Structure 1
Amino acid sequence: MKIQSLLRFLITAAVVVIAVLLGHALWKHYLYSPWTRDGRVRAEVVRVAPDVSGLVTRVAVIDNQLVHKGDVLFVVDQSRFSNALSQAEANLAASEASARAAGASISSALAAASARRAEYEMRQQQAQRRQQMGDLIAKEDRNDAVSTANSALATWQQAKAGGNQAGAAREQAQSAVEQAQVALDLARLNLQRTEVRAPVDGYVTNLDVRVGDYAAAGGARLALIDSHSYYIYGYFEETKLPQLRVGDPVDVRLMAGGVHLKGTISGIAHGITDSDNPTGSDLLADVNPTFSWVRLAQRVPVRIAIDTGKLPADTLIAAGMTATIQVQPRPPVHANTGARAVMGR
């Protein structure tokens, strides 16, 4: 009887010890093992808005459709912008004609100035010759020759001023041509922007535009999910962060069908909001005077890049899906090990 009692005691003790060890292992695994069921699939979302305002005349896509970069999503009424383009082309033609006329005017002004200069030089030489002849010519004739030369000089200077004025008019006309060209380029760009195109490859989401709607410039009318930007955010308890490093491989299991994905940690958040310490109205810390005896570990976001090369065929991934994440920590690299390796060389 004593042997049986001892045997039963030993069996009971062994079961209790195994249960305690197993419970301790499970507790450590739950608290410190680098895994979480709180994973979320995310993607970059482009909010598509028209660059010009007007009535929508055509919608070329449907909700949840896959589009490629450059595909037309919807079209804004082009009539007004076509008229503006025609007006800009006419303004440019008129400015170019004015510039040509200004060029002809300056050519005429320069020719006139050249003729006035030649006449002045001739009158100046005549006056000098008559002054050199002295009393052989009447003093009145000499004075008339000087006056004629001075008048020719004034006429030449006036012609030069007219040439300068014509040059300024030509520069102004050239500036008007450049302004008209800029206006034409803008009108052409506005006409092109009436066709709202996809900036990236992706899926149309939340299509909120219909034919006849008024689309205002800058107002987002649909969301486009970039099909090449899917990643996963895992929210790990702070007790597990010491085992996580950028570059660690990750196994991901989506809740949708249990699809397995491979990934790599690409970043770990360095801050989260402290809800227990908000800023008061006077910009001082508003410290909560109460303390909860049950402290839950904070969850810190960890970004995981998906290995699209190992993505199973026909896998549907949507932003917002949930997933279970298991990190495979790499062995740490110690600084003294690297130093010994350098010394060994």
Structure 2
Amino acid sequence: MRSKAFPYPLLKIGVTVLLALLASWTLWQLYAYYTYAPQTRDGRLRADTIPLAADVSGRVEAVLVHDNEVVKRGQTLFVIDTARLTNDLAEADAAVATAQAQLASAQREDKRYRTLADVVAPQEVDNRRSAVEEARARHAQALASRERARINLDRAKVVAPVNGIVTNFSLRPGAYATAGQPVMALLDRDSFYVSGYFEETKLARMHAGMSAQVRIMGEDRPLRGHVEGVSAGIEDRERTTAPGTLLANVNPTFSWIRLAQRVPVRIALDEVPPGVTLVAGRTATVSLEESDSTIRKPAGTTE
């Protein structure tokens, strides 16, 4: 009795169909993930940068920090030459003393003329009263000038307004600092966040409070965070304003393949593994978790 031959052709067809279905399912999953899943590889690590300038003009007397140094809030960064400012304060003190003496003299004259009101002309009495008011005003002005001189002397020391990192720093003693002109940049090390640029097709699947996983390029360990908010507007590069009419001038071109706009989404960092170097501008990959159990309530909301 002869045994039946194993149907190898049918097996090959079945395996081929199974592999084709598996490949189709895999391709569909990849397409759905990259098209609709709330994730992006286009992210950047950001931080607030504070341009620091001297409050008074003068020669830089001392520089107490160096490039890439970590500083604390209130720490002195550099000092403007205090000799001229100290002299200004001394002059202001002298001006206050002079104004105070003039005020006292005017008050004595006013008191004397008021006691002689019966024998002097009323106009003289009024003149002495006016002299007192003028002297009082000059005294108040001298006090204000002295306070300004004291503030300028205090502001000769430029201190860090936040906990930060000195970056791109090249200030040296002897340089001249102009009031209001930035001479250094301080990066706020307590303000690091991630800007994820998500395609507009994915916005419907995200909201404030969603947990996020952030992977910095070159780092093995992920960072944890949550969505703080979505940008309220982006630039329309196809629309301008026609000169002279103030009307919209829209480019009439149309592309058959329309690329989804990228919308900035701010990700607050909650957990940063030890040893991970945070550098503003580093590339990041952001993946949002859609599970309800990982949704974080936005700050400021109530039940």
TM over 0.5, shorter chain = yes
Query: For the residues of structure 2 that align with 1:168 and 1:60, how far apart are their CA atoms?
Result: 52
Amino acid at match of 1:299: R
In the alignment, the residues of structure 1 paired with residue 291 and residue 243 of structure 2 have an alpha-carbon distance, to the nearest angstrom, of 47
Task: Indicate whether 1:99 and 2:103 are aligned.
Answer: yes
Deviations 1:143-197 (A, max 9, x none): xxxxxxxxxxxx36x2x44333222211111111101000100111111111111
SS of the residue corresponding to residue 197 of structure 2 reads strand
Cα-to-partner distance string for 1:216-249 (whole Å, 9 max, x where unaligned): 1111001101111111100111121111101101
**Which of residues 248, 251, 256 is equivalent to 1:288?**
251
Aligned length, in residue pairs: 288
Task: Tell me the SS of whatever aligns to 1:196.
Answer: strand
1:303 aligns with 2:301: no
- Residue 312 of structure 1 is matched in structure 2 by 273
TM-score by length of 1: 0.78
**Distance in 2 (alpha carbons) for counterparts of 1:13 and 1:330:** 34
Kindly indicate whether the alpha-carbon contact (under 8 Å) linking 2:216 and 2:285 is maintained by their aligned counterparts in 1: yes
Residue segments in structure 1 that go unaligned for 5+ positions in a row: 117-154, 333-345
In the TM superposition, what is the alpha-carbon distance from 1:7 to its structure 2 partner? 2.6
1:190 to 135, 152, 155: 152
Instruction: List aligned pairs for 1:127-276, cutoff 5 A.
Output: 155=119, 158=121, 160-276=122-238
- Give the whole-Å Cα distance in 2 for the aligned partners of 1:241 and 1:63: 40
Alignment of 1:18-57 (within 5 A): 18-57=22-61
After superposition, the CA RMSD in angstroms is 1.9
Question: Would the alpha carbon gap of residues 161 and 291 (structure 1) be closer, same or farther in structure 2, given more than 3 Å must change?
Answer: closer
Could you say which structure has the larger radius of gyration? 1
Distance 1:256 1:7 in 2: 46
Which secondary structure state, in structure 1, belongs to the residue aligned with residue 149 of structure 2? helix
Give, in whole Å, the separation in 2 of the partners of 1:15 and 1:259: 34
The answer to whether the 8 Å contact 2:219/2:276 transfers is no
Residue in 1 that maps onto 2:283: 322
Q: How far apart, CA to CA, are the structure 2 residues paired with 1:294 and 1:274?
A: 18
CA distance in 2, matches of 1:63, 1:91: 42
Sequence identity of aligned pairs in percent?
A: 40
Give the secondary structure class of the aligned counterpart of 1:19. helix
TM-score with structure 2 setting the length: 0.89
Distance 1:106 1:251, change over 3 A: same
Contact 1:88 1:183 in 2 (8 A): yes
**CA apart distance, 1:262:** 1.0
The farther-off stretch of 13-22 and 284-293 is 284-293
Please, which runs of 5 or more residues in structure 2 have no aligned partner? 294-303
Q: CA deviation at 1:256?
A: 3.0
Mapped to 2, the partners of 1:26 and 1:313 lie a distance apart of: 33
| Alpha-carbon distance in 1 for matches of 2:95, 2:43 | 60
Distance 1:23 1:214 in 2: 63
Which residue identity lines up with residue 42 of structure 1 in the other structure? R
8 Å CA contact retained: 1:49, 1:222: yes
Asked if structure 2 preserves the Cα contact closer than 8 Å seen for 1:245 and 1:329, the reply is: no
Greater strand proportion: 2
Amino acid paired to 2:266: R
Quick one: structure 1 residues 277 and 166, their matched pair in 2 at CA, closer, same or farther if it must change by over 3 Å? closer
Report if aligned partners of 2:37, 2:202 keep a CA contact under 8 Å in 1.
yes
> In 1, distance between residues paired with 2:20 and 2:278?
46
* Correspondence for 1:70: 74
Q: Distance in 1 between matches of 2:79 and 2:269?
A: 35
